[in-house]
C-alpha cells in the first residue's frame, strides 16, 4: 500500500475506522462505515480476493462509494478531530510550560537564597576578622 490508488485511499479508510469508534459520529454514518470496513476485511466478496489484479476491485469500489457518500460528514469529522487534537496538544503544552515555569522559579529562588546566604556568611566572617 505504498503507491497508487490504494495508497491514496488508505488515509480515508483510516478516517472511516476512527469515525466508527467515535460515539459522537452520526449512527447512520457509523453503520455505513462499519458495513464498508467489514466488507473490506471479509473474505466473502463479490469478486474473490484470491483473483490477482481483480480481487480488490470490488472492495475499492465499495470504499470509494461509501467515502463519496460520507464525504461531507467525513470531512467535518476529520476537521473536528484535528481541532480536538490541536486543543489537546495546546493543553499539554500549557501543562508543560507551567511545569517548566515552576522549575525555573524554584531554581531562581534557590539561587537567590544561596547568594544571600553567601553574602551573609561573608559579612559575618568579615565582621569576625
Q: Are 16 and 67 in contact (CB under 8 A)?
A: yes
Q: What is the pLDDT of residue 97?
A: 97
CA distances from 9 to 85, 104, 126 (A): 22, 48, 79
Domain that holds residue 84: 4-128
pTM: 0.59
Contact 25, 19 (CB under 8 A): yes
Under 8 Å between Cβ of 8 and 59: no
In the chain, the number of structural domains is 1
pLDDT at 1: 46
5: which 3 cell numbers?
490508488
Nearest to 19 by CA among 5, 7, 32, 6: 32
pLDDT tens for each residue of the chain, 129 residues long:
455 666 778 888 898 998 899 888 889 999 999 999 998 888 787 777 777 777 778 888 888 999 999 998 888 888 988 999 999 999 999 999 999 999 999 999 999 999 999 999 999 999 988
**First-to-last C-alpha distance (Å) of the chain:** 82
Distances (CA, A) of 35 to 23, 31, 49, 51: 16, 6, 17, 22
Amino acid at each position: 500500500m505504498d503507491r497508487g490508488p490504494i495508497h491514496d485511499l488508505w488515509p480515508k479508510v483510516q478516517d472511516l475506522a476512527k469515525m466508527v469508534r467515535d460515539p459522537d459520529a452520526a449512527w447512520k454514518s457509523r453503520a455505513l462505515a462499519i458495513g464498508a470496513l467489514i466488507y473490506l476485511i471479509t473474505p466473502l466478496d463479490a469478486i474473490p480476493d484470491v483473483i490477482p489484479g481483480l480481487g480488490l476491485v470490488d472492495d475499492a469500489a465499495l470504499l470509494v462509494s461509501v467515502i463519496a457518500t460520507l464525504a461531507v460528514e467525513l470531512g467535518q469529522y476529520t476537521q473536528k478531530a484535528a481541532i480536538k487534537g490541536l486543543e489537546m496538544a495546546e493543553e499539554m503544552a500549557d501543562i508543560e510550560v507551567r511545569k517548566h515555569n515552576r522549575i525555573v522559579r524554584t531554581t531562581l529562588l534557590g539561587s537567590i537564597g544561596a547568594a544571600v546566604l553567601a553574602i551573609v556568611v561573608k559579612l559575618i566572617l568579615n565582621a569576625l576578622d
